[in-house]
Structure 1
Amino acid sequence: MDHEEARSRLLEAAKRLFYERGIQTVAIDELRATSGVSLKRLYQYVPSNTELVEQYLQPHDETWLPDLSEYIHLDAPPPEGRLAAGFDRLH
């Protein structure tokens, strides 16, 4: 298994497990077993849990934050209205 395939498998497994149960409840051993990536390869790709979570969340940031930010800034007065607008948009 090459580096990109290992990365893809890890992120897909993390995506599924984190979504189903939450980030804090998923153990590294479970992630390793679900992804089929060896522990050595896992730590070569993601040396820390924090880095794995950052890589997992990055696509969400790239997708949701620009849209949410634009919606909040265009449609809501500061500051309480922006908070409410954010929840409206996410709903």
Structure 2
Amino acid sequence: MMKTTLPIKSMIVVGLGASAAWWLSSKPNRIKAESKLRDLKRKVKPTPFHKSESLPIQKGGVPHPHDMEDNKMVDEGALYSVKFYNEKMQ
């Protein structure tokens, strides 16, 4: 039984592949297929760009001048880059 179904299944797969290649050979059909796949991808995994307004950003760029921990972190980051530059130049 396995020997007779294997060639039939493989012929069906080859036929489907050949018909898909023939259908995708024209540019309008390729454009349709790409748009359908793009829509399907958006449905399966939505992009985060739609939710960009609800991102959990509390301090977005300008730290408060009295926030000492944040200012210390920025200061240490600046010193690290200056130290790295000085070591590279020497």
TM over 0.5: no
Which protein, 1 or 2, shows the higher relative CO under an 8 Å CA cutoff with sep ≥ 6? 1
TM-score (ref. length: structure 2): 0.29
Structure with the higher helix share, 1 or 2: 1
